[in-house]
Amino acid sequence: MFDKLEAAEIRYNQLSEWLCNPDVLADANKLRAYSKEQAELQATVDAYRSYKDAEDGLRQAREMLQEKLDDEMKELVKSEIEDLEERIETLSTELQVLLLPKDPNDDKNVFLEVRAAAGGEEAALFAGTLLRMYSRFAERQGWKIEVIDASYTDIGGMKDVTLSIQGRGAYSKLKFESGTHRVQRVPVTESGGRIHTSTATVAVLPEVEDVQVEINEKDIRIDTFCSTGPGGQSVNTTQSAVRITHMPTGIVVSCQDEKSQLKNRDKAMRVLRARLYEKYESEQQQALAADRKSQVGTGDRSERIRTYNFPQSRITDHRIGLTTHRIDAVLDGELDELVQGLIIADRARMLQEAQ
């Protein structure tokens, strides 16, 4: 571990020198690349320096304890030793986490898809609730949101919706949201006051570059149609909406958010690229680890990951056993408790596997 930490500190110092070089400052590409690399090393180097300072302090305190001290001073030194030993243990764990392999997609923008599943109109209304929850969470993070495609029901629910969420760390905070979300509540369509159980599925896909997924033009079919909006009414009478079918896999992507057919085609290709990347990555992971299942879930839409129980104002994430009774706050975008719990659980799993 310490070899890696020393190498990280040497690299950090090297980058600091380069970032003071006038030639680097004049080169926008180098400046951006070096600044990004240094920022990624910052937390690790800071923790390592704190660890070394604590070890130096502990060594000095132990040496002092060997000297002739009065009882009061001896107790103070012993107390300082206990504090430093505890700090070193905490920093050691933190450093192990910081050295874990980073998901290369963590800093990427995402496409977030929500679809109504079991439960008819109530499932569509719940899908709309989840859409608002993620939109509010993205706003709280300062991320940009774009609607790529959406299909509505007659009373305001969502059959399905695809969002583009753009912001640093978007995938790292949203990647564990993929799966089946279950709701238990009395629907507005229920006259007898009975509690219904409905579901909606969520998929979170990292946005990938052209070079990561190659799409052959002869493998896709592009259809155009008129855009529609809530309730099915016509939004425009031009053939601006685009539907792209990837024939080898059967994946279909639609986009009608823009008035320009060219812009809708570009957005649809971005989503198609992300879906193909997810498909290929999933197949590769299954081939490499068919007998292993992540502690926080596979991310498959068929897996029930969370229940939203309105009568008891309770949300439970089944993967990590986390329950909160702040359902209104969570649905208003305050997802941090759940997000951090999932991140911590995933890191704990990785640490256990690394030992």
The segment with the largest mean pLDDT, out of 106-110, 192-196, 294-298, is: 106-110
- Residue 168 CA, chain-centre distance (Å), reads 10
Nearest to 160 by CA among 131, 139, 122, 198: 131
SS3 221: strand
Higher pLDDT, 144 or 210: 144
Task: Give domain limits for the chain.
Answer: 2-98, 110-286+300-349
Q: What is the pLDDT of residues 167-199, one digit of tens each?
A: 988 999 999 999 999 999 987 766 677 888 999
Q: Which H/E stretch holds residue 242?
A: strand 241-246
Distant-in-sequence contacts of 188-193, Cβ < 8 A, 24+ apart:
188/125, 189/121, 189/122, 189/155, 190/122
Alpha carbon dihedral 74, 75, 79, 80, in 10-degree steps, equals -30
What is the CB-side half-sphere exposure of residue 211 using CA atoms within 13 A?
0
How far is residue 189 from each of residues 54, 116, 199, measured CA to CA in Å?
A: 62, 16, 16
Are 291 and 277 within 8 A, CB to CB? no
Nearest to 205 by CA among 302, 141, 109: 109
Nearest to 111 by CA among 159, 157, 177: 177
Residue 234: DSSP 8-state: B
Distant-in-sequence contacts of 263-272, Cβ < 8 A, 24+ apart:
264/240, 265/222, 267/146, 267/148, 267/164, 268/148, 268/149, 268/242, 268/243, 268/244, 269/215, 269/244, 270/111, 270/164, 270/207, 271/111, 271/148, 271/149, 271/162, 271/205, 272/215, 272/220, 272/244, 272/246
**Which residue carries 């059959």 as its tokens?**
159
Q: Has residue 152 got a pLDDT over 70?
A: yes
pTM, two decimals, is 0.72
Q: What is the CATH number of domain 110-286+300-349?
A: 3.30.70.1660
| Percent of the chain at pLDDT exceeding 70 | 89
Per-residue pLDDT, 194: 84
SS3 201: strand
Mean pLDDT of 51-62: 94
Are 254 and 241 within 8 A, CB to CB? yes
**Which residue carries 């969502």 as its tokens?**
158
What b/e sequence results for 116-139 when a residue is b if at least 16 CB atoms lie within 10 Å of its CB, and e otherwise?
bbebebbbbbbbbbbbebbbbbbe
- Within 10 Å of residue 246's Cβ, how many Cβ atoms? 19
CA distance linking residue 233 with residue 273, whole number of Å: 30
Q: What is the pLDDT of residues 222-271, one digit of tens each?
A: 988 876 655 444 455 567 888 999 999 999 998 887 788 888 888 888 89
Cα maximum dimension of the chain: 92
278 band by pLDDT with thresholds 50, 70 and 90:
confident
Q: 302 is written with which tokens? A: 């068929």
Contact partners, residue 18, CB within 8 Å, separation at least 6: 24, 30, 34
How far is residue 314 from each of residues 23, 125, 142, 326, 334, measured CA to CA in Å?
A: 57, 18, 27, 7, 14
Are 303 and 297 within 8 A, CB to CB? yes
Higher pLDDT, 291 or 274: 274
Per-residue pLDDT, 232: 45
CA distance linking residue 198 with residue 76, whole number of Å: 61
What is the CB-side half-sphere exposure of residue 273 using CA atoms within 13 A?
19
